[in-house]
Structure 1
Amino acid sequence: MSKKLALFSILIASLLVGCSVVPQFKQAREDYLETRVVEILSEMPTAEAQPTEKVIAETEVAATEEPVAEPTEEVTAEPTTETTEEATAEVTATEEATEEVSAESKGMTESYDPKVYLGDSDWEDKMTTVGSWPLGTDLSSATYENETLMITALSDKFSWRIASTGALGDAYIEATIKVGECSGADSYGIIFRVPENTGYNRGYLYGIDCKGKYSLRSWDGMTGASGVMTYLQEPTESSLIKTGSNQTNRLGIMAVGDRLVMYANGEKLGEVKDNMYSTGFFGIYLKRDKTADLTIYVDDVGYWKNPTIK
């Protein structure tokens, strides 16, 4: 009886204990499951992959944008500005150079060469056509050859050819003349202010010789048995004259009032004053000294009326 009672008491106690343990077991089980779920979720790769992709994407975009953005600013913005400034400077320099050339071409750069500062001539003959000069033979022979007027001395006397133009008053007369073989005082030049109705037997003679000397003479062929030749400018040497055989010189004489100004190759040689002749015709003369067949070739002659002396 006592044993049965004790066993029953133990059974009752076990049941009571079981009733209190079951809820604790359920709670422990739920806590365990919740903890495990959290651990499983935290260990899952999906949770970590998403931030990794975002970081990689941002890094790749940043790496792609930086090299493109920075060089574009450096190459496109700054060098273009510098290049534009340099190009502008070059254009400005070119414009200034053009203005300088234009200024010179307009005559703003002063020149003392009459052919330059007097502008277009009133008359010019480049010997491309026949008609302005008497040809034939007397004290010299004259003919056209290769677009030049060729004159050859046949005597040791002065000989000339007068242009078939009107008489001139104040004028600048210029002739480009090449001499062939020459020596000593073989000479050639311009005869001018030859008065009308005198048989071309008066006037002034300006010229140079083979030795490089220039002179100016007054000629009166109607006085005395053989005329009178007077030096107004004695033969004077000048480095402006090309000397010797086969040389070309550009001779010019400017007659304004009583002022007679001599030029060679665009440069002033000297000036004299004389009032014996004030108007007249002009032409080309030559006189041999050492060379029997002294020959000159005239390829450009012109005159300017009423010139200004500089």
Structure 2
Amino acid sequence: MKKGLLNTLFLFILMGCNFARALESLPVDSVSTQVSAQLTSSPFPGQIYTSTPTIIPFTETPSPTETETAIPTVTLTATLSPDDPRARLGNPTWKETFDKPNQNFYQDDNESIRFIYESGDLVLTAKNPNWTSWSMSYHKPANYYLEATFKVGECSSSDRYGLVFRAPDLTDGYFFGITCDGRFALKVFSQKGELIAWTNHPAINTGSNQVNRVGVLVQNNRYALYTNGKLLQETIDDTFVKEGLFGAYIASSTTTNFTVRVEDIAFWNQ
């Protein structure tokens, strides 16, 4: 009896190993490739998802979206403005500064991406154009303000990066991104088009070697998008209204080895 159980267990382990190898052998140009890993140094693994979807042109005519009146903006200064959520929320509920390796966010280096902890940052590199990758933390807050500080390397035009939030799993969620040339948008990854079409905004620091704080205020089905403490736009959407995963994403449009460094990421429960 015991010998039979041991043989059965060995068979399942062998099947699992073969399945893992099959995932690793998928070609780079496959429609969708998921990679996840258990971090042995942390009881809560970070997770990463990579995909090569057909990139929707930025010139696409946006569908009408429901928006609310934005709070009046103020002149950018070096200090936090009254509109900046971080100025009024105090200490965050949770914050990651990437000082300790192998904590909260997954790392990998393969033919398509390079995600590593380096010098106190989470370094995200998209090695190939038109390749979107993202990494999730294990937290699942409900209503909150989420913000990350990104430092951009060499970039051009539509190279983009930003936040993933309210993700029900590793394959979907809201994607709030900004581009190298100063545009922002909000979309549901699995849906065609954007909830908020790609729009220019002066609050976004443009070009290579810039730093941008990217934040989103999540309240039930209402979302307010911020960059560098300035409100960009608000919208309402009911696609994902429950708690979900969050993380950071990167997508190269034209730049090979497009890289951004996430200096910190934090959320404040609301």
| Mapping 1:256-271, distance limit 5 Å | 256-271=219-234
Partner of 1:118: 89
Partner-residue secondary structure (3-state), 1:115: helix
Matched residue type, 1:291: T
CA distance in 2, matches of 1:110, 1:245: 25
Partner SS state of residue 158, structure 1: strand
Does residue 172 (structure 1) correspond to residue 142 (structure 2)? The answer is no
Whole-angstrom CA distance in 1 between matches of 2:234 and 2:221 = 10
Distance 2:223 2:177 in 1: 13
| Residue 290 of structure 1: how far off its partner (Å) | 1.3
Letter of the 2:268 partner, please give it.
W
Question: RMSD in angstroms over aligned alpha carbons?
Answer: 1.5
Q: Does 1:157 align with 2:131?
A: yes
Deviation (angstroms), 1:157: 2.2
Paired letter, 1:162: M
2:245 equivalent in structure 1 = 281
1:150-229 matches, cutoff 5 A = 150-155=123-128, 156-163=130-137, 165-195=138-168, 198=169, 200-220=170-190, 228-229=191-192
The DSSP-based 3-state class of the residue aligned with 1:116 is: helix
Q: Which amino acid aligns with 2:88?
A: Y
CA distance in 1, matches of 2:193, 2:166: 15
Paired AA for residue 122 in structure 1: T
Distance 2:96 2:232 in 1: 24
The answer for unaligned runs of 5 or more in structure 2 is 1-79
Contact residue 213 and residue 235 of structure 1 kept, 8 A: yes
Distance (Å, rounded) in 2 between the aligned partners of 1:299 and 1:229:
31
Separation in 2 of the partners of 1:254 and 1:305? 10
Percent of residue pairs bearing the same amino acid type: 33
- Partner residue, 2:28: none
The correspondence of residues 1-310 of structure 1 with structure 2, limited to 5 A, is 111-130=82-101, 131-137=103-109, 139-155=112-128, 156-163=130-137, 165-195=138-168, 198=169, 200-220=170-190, 228-278=191-241, 279-306=243-270
Residue 304 of structure 1 aligns to a residue whose secondary structure is strand
Structure 2 distance, partners of 1:276, 1:168, is: 16
Unaligned runs of 5+ in 1: 1-108, 221-227
TM-score, normalised to structure 1's length? 0.58
Counterpart in the other structure of 1:87: none
State the TM-score, normalized to the length of structure 2: 0.67
Q: Give, in whole Å, the separation in 2 of the partners of 1:132 and 1:213.
A: 29
The answer on whether the counterparts of 2:115 and 2:125 sit within 8 Å (CA) in structure 1 is yes
Residue correspondences, number: 187
Compute the displacement of 1:167 (Å): 0.9
| Structure 2 residue identity aligned to 1:133 | F
1:154 is displaced (CA, Å) by 2.5
User: How far apart are the structure 2 equivalents of 1:186 and 1:144?
Assistant: 21
Contact 2:158 2:180 in 1 (8 A): yes
Higher normalized helix content (fraction of residues): 1
CA shift for structure 1 position 110: 8.6
For residues 119 and 194 of structure 1, the distance between their equivalents in structure 2, rounded to whole angstroms, comes to: 26
Other-structure match for 1:65: none
Residue of structure 2 in register with 1:38 after alignment: none
**Residues in 2 aligned to 1:292 and 1:207: alpha-carbon distance in whole angstroms:** 19
Which whole-Å CA distance do the structure 2 matches of 1:192 and 1:125 have between them?
16
Task: Select the structure of larger CA radius of gyration.
Answer: 1
Q: In structure 1, the residue corresponding to 2:204 is in which secondary structure?
A: coil
Contact residue 219 and residue 230 of structure 1 kept, 8 A:
no
**CA contact 1:242–1:249 (8 Å) conserved in 2:** yes
Return the offset for 1:137. 3.1
